[in-house]
Amino acid sequence: MVSREAQAPWLLLASLLTLGTMLTLFVVRPLDDNRLTSWQWVFARTDGGRLALWLVLAVLFAHLAGAVQWRRLRLGPLLVAGAFGVTALLWPTPEVILDAARHFGQAKSIGLHGAASLLQAWGAEIPAWTDLPLVPVLYGSIFIVLGEQRLYLQVLNSLLFAGTVLLTWQIGRTLWQEELGLIAAALLLGMPFLLVQVPLTLADVPTMFCVTLASFATLAALRHGGWLRIALAAVAIALAVFSKYSAWLMLTVLPVLALVEARGRTPEVSRRAAAVAGGALLLAVPVLLSMSELIGTQLALLREFQAPALGRWSESMVSTFLFQSHPFIAFAAIASLWLAWRARDGRFAAVAWLPLLMLALGVRRARYLVPVMPMLALMAAYGLQAIRGAALRAHVVRCVVASSLAIVFCGFLPFLQRNSAANLQTAGAYLDSLDDEAVEVVALPQRGARVNPGIVVPLLDLHTAKRLVADAARLPSPPELARLPLRFTWEYRHPQFYGETGRGAQALPVAVVAGERGADLPSSLAQRLAQHRLAREFAVSEHVFGYQTLVSVYLPESSHGR
């Protein structure tokens, strides 16, 4: 066993490589074409010194953490708790992706009318677009039990992310050994883009959990058998089926797992695999048949609109795997291919299948790769086994995690908090301080932004407990609607719960959402606001995105609000 003192030069080299790699990415940041957290937006030219300081502190922390006697601690539970804690620090992130409006609206409808009405309302009163019902049901159930607050959804997503860390650890431990599983679990904290997705009201993180759960539950059922494990695997697969259509493709990992486990005991594993598949079909097929007409329409939309549009919305692999995830993870994943080939390790196919499938299919958008990240972490953990010394291997992992967290908290989080979506967050908090029970929302059309302005109403609703009132009138759709990335916003209709109250509209506070400060008000609106006064403006902007949400709140002259 090599002593830590003998490895000291290598530990120092790993630290210097970490600093050098991350600062090189800062220099070449124009190569990052991510559509949300590109380094060229997140880090300005003047941020180099600040970033270098954060990275130095991160590497020093990695060295100090190496002095802790980790063998005396229960690393698995510690990593799971750390995953929840890190993402909890990201809860102040505003809702920066417009898809959140859709998921929140679906969940609110379920929260108001109950999950039992879902099958009748899904795709009718509850617009479904290309979504499946599991995630809205989860969110809506939380609204039923705990109340309608975004924080509760963020707690759920952090728990699901922590659960994914736990499952990744267990998959690595089951296929190989404890250390590899722990490294893979830790590497999930080395993916900045993944971390900032956790606080958002989207389906990606729950889908990641469901796919990973289905993979581990199937692995356990195939390896150990037992009706309880088989039943749990069937339930897990059904949950993944109802989470997102892309999960159907990702569930192709399950036959690969069966093939891996069947080596040397084919009859036994075949019987278990058939039992798992039969149970999953029994759970999923009746529900899918009951929604067959809607599902057919959604699949046609995915085939005719979403699939061709991927080419127009693409992000480079350089961006996704070097900037949005730690580059050491990508390098280790590449190395794992050689190591597994040299060792003729058939088990490796179970974790390499999904990342390689996504590459082969040309999926070039970071958000769509989120459910695959646990398998990428397992590939990278396998590749890191090329580093012979355990102390050096652990230090590299700590450098990956520490430097990635520095990127998140030094760059990604501050940038997202400057996003104009933060105005909806702060405006919602201000509206909650008013005495009025309801607030009228007026969303003005924006020049050059190909987004239906009405979509902002549910996004504001995410951040306030007030009842929102919005005009049901719709703007005409643009002629290029069929090719617009945010086409769903134009097909959005305000649900009934945003209808008029019994009070006159003039007596209500009015929140006007515009794309720029001092935007001209339509004459009809200006006339209605003649007896109002401008009380507050919320005008934070990152000056990057074409669609902006700047909020002005007008109060009736008789109101005592600040």
Task: Name the residue among 180, 162, 501, 176 with its Cα closest to residue 332.
Answer: 180
Choose among 243, 83, 92, 240: nearest CA to 158. Answer: 83
- How many whole angstroms separate alpha carbon 235 and alpha carbon 254? 14
Would you call 239 helix, strand, or coil by DSSP?
Answer: helix
Sequence-distant (6+) residues with CB within 8 A of 146 are 152
Please give the structure tokens belonging to residue 23: 């600062």
What is the spatial distance between Cα 418 and Cα 551, in angstroms, rounded to a whole number? 14
With a CB cutoff of 8 Å and minimum separation 6, the contacts of 518 are none
pTM of the entire structure?
Answer: 0.95
* 550 bridge partner residues: 514
Q: pLDDT tens track of the chain, all 562 residues?
A: 555 566 788 899 999 999 999 999 999 999 999 999 999 999 987 788 999 999 999 999 998 988 777 666 688 899 999 999 999 999 999 999 999 999 999 999 998 888 777 767 888 878 888 999 999 999 999 999 999 999 999 999 999 999 999 999 999 999 999 999 999 999 999 999 999 999 999 999 999 999 999 999 999 999 999 999 999 999 999 999 999 999 999 999 999 999 999 988 889 999 999 999 999 999 999 999 989 999 999 999 888 887 666 666 789 999 999 999 999 999 999 999 999 999 999 999 999 999 999 999 988 899 999 999 999 999 999 999 999 888 899 999 999 999 999 999 999 999 999 999 999 999 999 999 999 999 999 999 988 778 999 999 999 999 999 999 998 777 777 767 767 778 888 888 888 889 865 555 457 999 999 999 888 899 889 998 988 999 999 999 999 998 999 999 999 987 666 6
Domain boundaries, the chain: 74-99+147-386, 422-556
| DSSP, res 506 | G
Q: Where are the beta strands (DSSP E) in 111-219?
A: none
Region of 12 on the Ramachandran plot (φ > 0 left; ψ -120 to 50 alpha; else beta): alpha
Give the closest residue to 380 by CA, choosing from 189, 168, 183, 166.
183
